Amino acid sequence: EVQLVESGGDLVQPGGSLRLSCIASGFTFSHFWMGWIRQAPRKGLEWVATMNPDGSNKYYVDSVKGRFSFSRDDAKRSLYLQMNSLRADDTAVYYCGRGNQGAYDIWGQGTMVTVSS
44 binds other proteins (CB under 8 A): yes
Q: Tell the smallest beta-carbon distance from residue 90 to other proteins (Å).
A: 16
Q: Based on the shown chain and the rule CB under 8 A, indicate whether residue 108 belongs to the binding site for other proteins.
A: yes
CB of 105 to other proteins, least distance (A): 5
Name all contacts of 58-64 with Cβ < 8 Å and 24+ positions apart: 63/89, 64/90
How many Cα atoms within 13 Å fall on the side-chain side of residue 64?
25
Cβ nearer to other proteins, comparing 35 with 90: 35
Q: Determine which residue in the list 54, 56, 101, 117 makes contact with other proteins, applying CB under 8 A.
A: 101
Beta strands in 1-117 (DSSP E): 3-7, 11-12, 18-25, 33-39, 45-51, 58-60, 68-73, 78-83, 92-100, 103-107, 111-115
Integer-rounded Cα Rg, in Å, for the chain is: 13
Work out the number of other CB atoms within 10 angstroms of the CB of residue 16. Answer: 15
Q: Is 70 in the site for other proteins (CB under 8 A)?
A: no
Output the smallest distance, CB 117 to other proteins, in A: 28
Stretch of residues binding other proteins (CB under 8 A), selected from 11-19, 21-29, 58-66, 75-83: 58-66
Binding site for other proteins (CB under 8 A): 35, 37, 44-47, 50, 59, 61-62, 95, 99-110
